[in-house]
Structure 1
Amino acid sequence: MPQNIEALSGSCVAIPCSFTLGSGYESSLTASCKGIWRKGWRRVHVFDSSLTGTGLNTIQGNLTGNLQQKECTTILNDFTSYFNDYFCFRLECDNALKYNFPGRVTIDVTEYPSKPTLSPATVDVMEGTSVSLICSAAAPCPSLPPTLTWTPTLNDSVEDLQETPNQVITSLLNFTASHVHHGEKISCTALYKRQAGKSDKSSKTYLTVTVLYPPKNTSVSVSPSGSVVEGSSVTLTCNSNANPAVKNYTWYKINGTEAVTLGSGESFTLDSKASDSGEYCCEALHALGTEKATKAKLLLPKSSPPLQSSGVFMWPSKHLELTVQKWARFDCLNLARSLP
């Protein structure tokens, strides 16, 4: 018999129980024997197996063990905090065998169920590792075991198991660790139904998954993203997703089939000359691997002839083609008098 059992108020509780007898008493174990549970230091009789079903017991229940086989396991129903105490077992038979067993069990009644436990308590793995999580919850009432639910399920296998001898319900979640699981909170919720129409109770525990993975989704961003005036700064930034975070980057300019190394660092700044136009690429360097970004094409304006701020701007040619920061409209005027 365990020393302590935690029971949920409004639910049943099972007391695992067995006993031994001194030599010479074996033959006294007959069908006439009954089991009695006594509460507290006053040894008040709260359950008598011979009164099962009569409604005369203080605590209703059922002795499920076979006394003739020295089994005295008992289920007591609709347990409340009023019965928070220790209990002792007494055996009575219609003969000389009557005995108060010295062992006792303390039953602690709680209004809320204890949190389930997760094993392992932490998940810190490499991407691609197979992970098995076990959620365990106390099941003090065999007829109303808790229902265990995983959130999220991770679209993988879930297997429910029951360990009756230990009064524990377990559920197994299997998944293969991916970078999308990094930082994910995985929770296990235990839902307990109670007796006599009382509302359900639940408890939850969770852990945060840590997954180590190489650079992914490496890309180049350009700032500013709009039009650029020649001579102003243009900053290229290399973005990459990895755990641990990427700290080393290398920059390249693509000249045909060749890649010319420009420098290192998360960002690279250009002075925005026309000769800087072209394709750029960065590479994220990481202890777990490397990844190159998709090429980024950078177009910078060419130098333009000076524009007159006011008056009429004249050009001897029939048309004018300019590369400027923004589109501008020019009207061609046919002057009446000849030009000098």
Structure 2
Amino acid sequence: MALRTAGSVLLVFLWSVAVVLGQDGWSVTYTPQSICTLKGSTVELSCSYTYPSGTVTTTFWFTKNNAEGNPVSLSDDPDYKGRVTYHSDKKNVHTLTITDLRESDSATYKFRFITDQTGVRYTGDPGVTLSVTALQVVTTLHWSKRKTLTCSTTSCPLTGNPTYTWYKNGQIVTEKTSSYSVDSKAADSYSCAVKGHEDLHSPAVYKPKNTSVSVSPSGEIVEGSSVTLTCSSDANPPVQSYTWYKKNGGGYQSMTGPQHVFNQIQSSDTGEYYCEVQNEMGKDRSTTINMDVKCE
């Protein structure tokens, strides 16, 4: 028995060829026992079964029981509505297909069959453990002028030495291993995918951009009032550090944090301010904002 693929199916981690449990002629054989595949892909789980006598009237796959303790067929589970199909063939291969996989689909899937003999129902244990993962780009900085980008999964690792497709600003730049070296000052965005499954690429990583400063409350600023400066930026991974600067007589005063609060602002706080932000991909700075504090 072998696991078959359909559509954008990606099997990234599996072990065990088959599991056969049962007694007195009752058994379910799963192939394989554990699977890890990508979010958004399609997967097929297969099994076969044996029984000593009678006729099988009902077969289905399930992951959970209802309030009465009875297994709920995935075709009746609202979490899988429109995403599951069952198929069986003359060779006793029974296949569950799940499309548009979600990370919440990670579970143990079991096959159950019912015969025409009164009270005879059988569930195959231990089932198939399905793990659904996403791709991500992890950045490693070096003392040199290079940084290494690594395409990895958020949970189970890919096996089989797959080839990766790397994107720069949305365009394919190379096909290679999971690591990709770029200039440490590169201002581009990068993402990755497993070759052959480019529709399942990772979110792009990029240095901060569109950095801006806002002041609250807006309008006239009066000495003694409370004023907050806020630094905002678009970045992935998220901004790791914020640094505020006040231009003052040619020198700069640094204040850290995404916000700087003046609890009782003074006229001496009048001046031009800007913020600088940084993540693993690089730095960016805002334009200056002029804050004029009026005396009461």
TM-score range, shorter chain: 0.3 to 0.5
| TM-score (norm: length of structure 2) | 0.37
Bigger proportion of residues as strand: 2
TM normalised by structure 1 equals 0.33
